[in-house]
Every structure is written in C-alpha cells, then in structure tokens.
Structure 1
Amino acid sequence: MLPKKGEAPEGRHAYAVFPLEGVWNTAEPVPPGAVLNKDALRSTLMIRQPDFVTDGLAARGIAATNGKKPHPLYESVSFGRWNDGLCVQMLHVGPYDAEPERFSLMQTYCAEHGLRRVSGWHREIDLSDARRTDPARLKTVLRFRVEACA
C-alpha cells in the first residue's frame, strides 16, 4: 500500500502475497501410531516477504497497523530471516490429519539415504486456503531439517 501513499521503497516491485508458513513442534513426544495431542503443538507462523522489505520498513508497517487497529499480539510480531539448511520435503495433498503418514514416508526416505532428522520441528507451507478448499484437496509442503548420518 505504500506506493498509493507516494512511498516506494528502493527495489520495490509488484508481487503476490506469499503463502502462510508454520514451523511446528509438539511439547510432548508422540510415539509412532499415537494420536497427536493438538493442544500440545507449538508454532511460529510467518509469511515470506519480498527482498526489498527491510527491518525498518517492516517495523514501520507493524507500528502503523497497530496504530490503526491495536491488538496485544502485535507485540509478538517480529521480522527476521530463516534458513532451513539441508532438508527433506514433500507435497502432501489431503487433510492435515493425514500428514503423519507423509512424515513416516519422509523418515523412511531418510533412513534409505543416510539422513537423520535434526529435531522435532517441521515446516508446513500452505499452498491452499483451508477456508475455501475441500480438505481432501488441500496442498501443503512438509519439510524438516536433516543431516547426513555419521
């Protein structure tokens, strides 16, 4: 919206809003085959920003939004960089509750290729809008960090 106000950050170009991403873990271990306690999930939600967005531009945007529509959660909003490093990922098509089956396939792939999952955290990139898409057709990229087994 800045160009409509006469402000155009250096390097600005038109872009589509990137998909919602979440980095997830659970506060409790989940044994294989067990039902996931969704109340124990912990997450960081994010939306990628174009390269021309700087720390200062993001801070100004957050402050301006909080000034127009105050909300206590704005205090927890931050702008930063994320590097996943070496990962295994796959496209999951279907409901979120079926994701554990895909993670099992990813673990099998790791075992077959000399890779080990680094932590319990994983990333989900929602390519579909869950509010408008039949759960059987949801598309989600699933990703977790790995390292080569020694």
Structure 2
Amino acid sequence: MAFDFKKEYKEFYMPKNKPMIVTIPRANYIAVRGQGDPNEEGGAYQKAISVLYAVAYTLKMSYKTNYKIEGFFEYVVPPLEGFWWQDGIEGIDYDNKSTFNWISVIRLPDFITKKDFEWAVETASIKKKMDCSCAEFLTIEEGLCVQMMHIGPFDDEPVSVALMDKYLE
C-alpha cells in the first residue's frame, strides 16, 4: 500500500473545522512563486499549479523509468498547500486578488534529493512539453501555527481566517 501523507500526518493534512495549534516540522517541497488573482483563467496561478503537479507526478512515477531514486517507496502525492500575502496592507484585501503574492507547494517525501528534483523538472518539461523551470526545491520549517479546515469556496475564506485570528487572541 502506498504511503499517504494525509493518513500518516492527519494533524497537518486533515485538520478539524475549528482552529487548533500545530507545530509543522522542517520538510522539503516543490514550490512555485507568483503574483496575481488565483481565479484568473489561464493566469499565473493556474500555470503554476500545472507545473507543480507535472513535477510531483514525474517524481512519483520515477520508479517506472530508468531513473532510480535511492530509498524510493510508493506514495500518494500530498495535497496542494500555499502561502498567501499582499504587500503594503494590514490583513488581506480579498476584493483585490490581483495584488496577491503566493508560494504554492507540494510536500516531497524525505528520500527525494535536490538532484532527484532537478531530474524531475527537466523530465517533466520534456515529457509535458511545458517549461517547469520556475519550480524550486524549497525547505520550510513553519514551526508553531494555527490551522483549521476551510470548506467551501476561496471567496468564503475570510470567515475561517477571522476564526483563526480570534483563536490567536
């Protein structure tokens, strides 16, 4: 059975629908940075997501190629995660999504090295006929965080963010 991050790390990937404190450990990710409205049809965010998944699935399916990753075991590609902010404002202006900055990420299993990542970027670019060079190997240690499950459209996220802010107080 394939390793599943959502099942093995439920506290990070299956949070409750109310705010809670978690400590997110150091981990490696495939990351793409950008700016703009995530809802823009054919925009930078949608292109970034395509790159993330192209590289993620190239790594996941590497065992079916001649490229061998040391310590590889089958796994489920972890869920998409992201960091969002706007420069020069307090909080978030959800009515002005064109000013969003973001880093979207997909967690990598610990056995994936930067060398493996670079192979996957090059292979995905060729196989998918798309430029994946904007992807980066990023190590993040988030540490102490507040999180909760948001269910519903992105436009309704301010309610969840407000609940987390209140919990922090």
TM-score band, normalised by the shorter chain?
0.5 to 0.7
Q: CA separation in 1, counterparts of 2:94 and 2:80? A: 25
- The answer on 1:110 being equivalent to 2:168 is yes
Amino acid at match of 1:49: L
In structure 2, the CA distance between the partners of 1:69 and 1:6, relative to structure 1 (3 Å rule), is: closer
Give the aligned CA root-mean-square deviation in angstroms. 2.1
Q: Distance in 2 between matches of 1:38 and 1:93?
A: 20
Contact between 1:55 and 1:80, CA under 8 Å: does it hold in 2?
Answer: no
How much has 1:5 moved relative to structure 2? 2.0
1:71 to partner: Cα distance: 3.4
Distance 2:85 2:91 in 1: 14
Closer, same or farther in 2 for the Cα pair 1:39/1:87, shift >3 Å? Answer: same
Letter paired with 1:108: K
What TM-score comes out, normalization by structure 2 length? Answer: 0.57
Of Structure 1 and Structure 2, the greater helix share is in: 2
Q: Which has the higher contact order (CA 8 A, sep 6+)?
A: 2
Number of positions where the alignment pairs a residue of Structure 1 with one of Structure 2: 109
- Structure having the higher Rg: 1
Which deviations, in whole Å up to 9, do the C-alpha atoms of 1:78-124 show, x marking residues without a partner? 1121111111111111211111111111111111xxxxxxxxxxxxx
Unaligned runs of 5+ in 1: 112-150
Q: Which amino acid aligns with 2:113?
A: T
Q: Does 1:17 align with 2:77?
A: yes
The answer for unaligned runs of 5 or more in structure 2 is 1-60
2:139 matches 1:81: yes
The runs of at least 4 aligned residues of structure 1 exceeding 3 Å deviation read: 68-72
1:60-139 aligned within 5 A: 60-72=119-131, 74-111=132-169
Q: 1:23 touches 1:45 (CA, 8 Å); kept in 2?
A: yes
> How far apart in 2 are the matches of 1:36 and 1:82?
29
Q: 1:6 to 1:69 in 2, by over 3 A?
A: closer
Aligned partners of 2:121 and 2:133 also within 8 Å? no
Q: Which residue of 1 aligns with 2:112?
A: 53
Q: Which amino acid is the alignment partner of residue 164 of structure 2?
A: M
Structure 2 CA distance, aligned partners of 1:93 and 1:14? 29
